[in-house]
Structure 1
Amino acid sequence: MEPPVVRLEPGLDTDATAARLTAAGPLVRVALPGDLHVWALTHFDALREALRDQPHAFRRGARNWRALNDGEIGRDHPVVAFLIGSESMLTSDDPDHARERKLVQSAFTHRRVQLLRPRVEQVTAELLDAVERAGRAGPVDLKAEFAVPLPIRIICDLLGIDDADVPAIADITTRALSGLDATATRDADAFAAGMVEAKRARPDDNLISALIAARYEGDALTDRELVDNIILLFLAGFETTMGTLANGVRALLAHPDQLRLVRSGEVTWEATIEEILRWDNSVATLPMIYTARDITVGGVELPAGEPVLMAFKAANRDPAVWAEASAFDVTRPKRANLAFGHGVHRCLGEPLARLELNVALPAVFERFPDLAAVPGGDDSPAPTLMMNHPKTLLVDTGGR
């Protein structure tokens, strides 16, 4: 009997899609735009096991995609174009992955991240000042005015990207993660390659220069690896934090009983952020891992070389793991979720994301005690295949 097919399109309701995916089983056949059929891991245990068992059961990198290698799938498909050719940590397996990660980690240190706290606090305060001023005249799009610029400014500071280049790289990022723009990958490559060339000519104290200079046991990142990992760091440093900030504010405004628990101190911000990450993590689905050998998952036999989508939002709402998994409940006992992945590919930027969330979310609600969602704003899902955040987040700051 053929398994059911769940169709995934940019702009779909991610809550409803996650519920459909989870209900369909741990391994689900999905159709991406352009009628590209792949598999999706949708249950928590199945996805965590796959992430842990790399590269033995699953591998990274489109070079492992049998149908692509055999010419059954065109390389010009937007989703395929996003995946092929990358040599970042995200698309490599050990030992190459371990080598790249050690080199990147030698530059992207815990100390470098912690030194950013005063800057995160400063930018947060500046942006909230602007939101407060705008709020005196009427509703404000908190996503556009706060959730977007905060992580962009921080990751650009960290990487050493000039303010003048921010609009261009932000546009490239949005187009790349839509899953529909095959030109975005080329534009991202050109931008990052230009940054590498500029920093080689004029090194500074920022992360791109540190990546160029990074050495581990005498080894260095190749030009291709530099370009791909700069793109990865920007994508992860901007979109994931932006989405979680927007989703977190929206979740708390939509659940005033939960917000009261946080405001009263009955529940910590740490616990609240953990539930936001579980319930509405900013990465809905992420392509792609590939079966390394013939394998059985959820009763389905898969041959080697099959593409498998990682359905993180569905897995984080698995009712077999969390009671009333679809409910937003900041009082849940703490347990691991997959918002930052798992295993050797767990997100390297997690400390930076947590720093920004722990500074920014409390600051929003401290600054605006009467903050409220405004009916009529377009909070439908943004038109992206992979990410999960609303188009807008219209709020009344209570300042009039």
Structure 2
Amino acid sequence: MSTPNTLQQALLDWFDKNQRDLPWRSSYTPYQIWISEIMLQQTQMDRVTVFFSRWMNTFPDIATLAMASEDQILKCWEGLGYYSRARNILKTAQILVERHEGRIPSSRKELLKLPGIGPYTAGAIASISFNRDVPVVDANIERIFARLFNIDLISGSPEAKRIHWQKAETLLPPKQARNFNQGLMELGALICRPKKPDCSLCPLAPYCLALKHDLIPERPIPKKSTKILPIEMATGVLLHNGQLFIQQRLEDDVWGSLWEFPGGRLKLGETPEQTVVREFFEETEFKIEIDSKITTTIHHFTRYKVTLHCFLVTLAQQDSDPVLHAAQEFKWIPFTALASHAFPAGHRKLINHMEESGFFLNQSPCKPD
């Protein structure tokens, strides 16, 4: 294999000519790099660019962000998923204002002390924002190194991770970390893709051992595939006196602090309608009746496929406040106010369906008790 200097320069030259025009690359401000890197965790680039612009319009700087409420943060994050990321962003912003004069530290060691910032994100912020000589390793870089150095180890294994970080540190050219680290990530996204890599356009092809030995399809060695588990759930949209009932999930729950319509998982032998009635009483002590079926949504998260049966329901009792057993707060709101609250993906799909279909245009504004 050629010397590292030759390999490094090939990648730097390629990145200089082929880098994508991304909004956070216009100025490389630490705040924008931080937010973009957190968003890019578990989320595709094309979606992140849309959410990033919306976020920056809402929270243009760390001071504004630190003053926001958790509800505002979660609403702006809605649709990106993995909401703990958003809550950690708020915690970090508040720490930055309290302890760092509203500035993001350039030291990897200091960055690692902040909520939601691990080794990769700390390295990305330090190297991309401040051009510090700090290596990074993400999924793209792991794939490149597995092929470039023909690493015969299962992807994500402790030994593979150790070797990848060692290679990243060894290859890093002094005072060029910003472009070199981005070049590796860009190469993995555009050329050295998981499937159908375009080796003919790769600047590192002359140095790639897996290509030399015709092992590109076998590198990296994949982890054992994760089985997708189906889950069937039901939820009810309670309409009473022209208002809709929503509740806010507990902070430490899945989708903590997001708003929802009550409901839950079907038990063995239950129909979706029976589930809604049971879950409403268990969660709120409301006795309700099924009015009609609204829709069924399907969404995926982590390793689950969730089928959500959605019903319009009414109260089968006299007016009273709920007794919350699975939530921290409740509200009665008009349909138009749903847009200002953050909901999990399945419930947001339900809301979008009701809006697009004009569902409530056909409903009486006041249901009888």
Using structure 2 for the length normalisation, give the TM-score: 0.25
Higher helix proportion, which one?
1
Larger RCO, structures 1/2 (Cα 8 Å, 6+ apart): 1
Whose Rg is larger?
A: 2
Using structure 1 for the length normalisation, give the TM-score: 0.24
Higher strand proportion, which one?
2
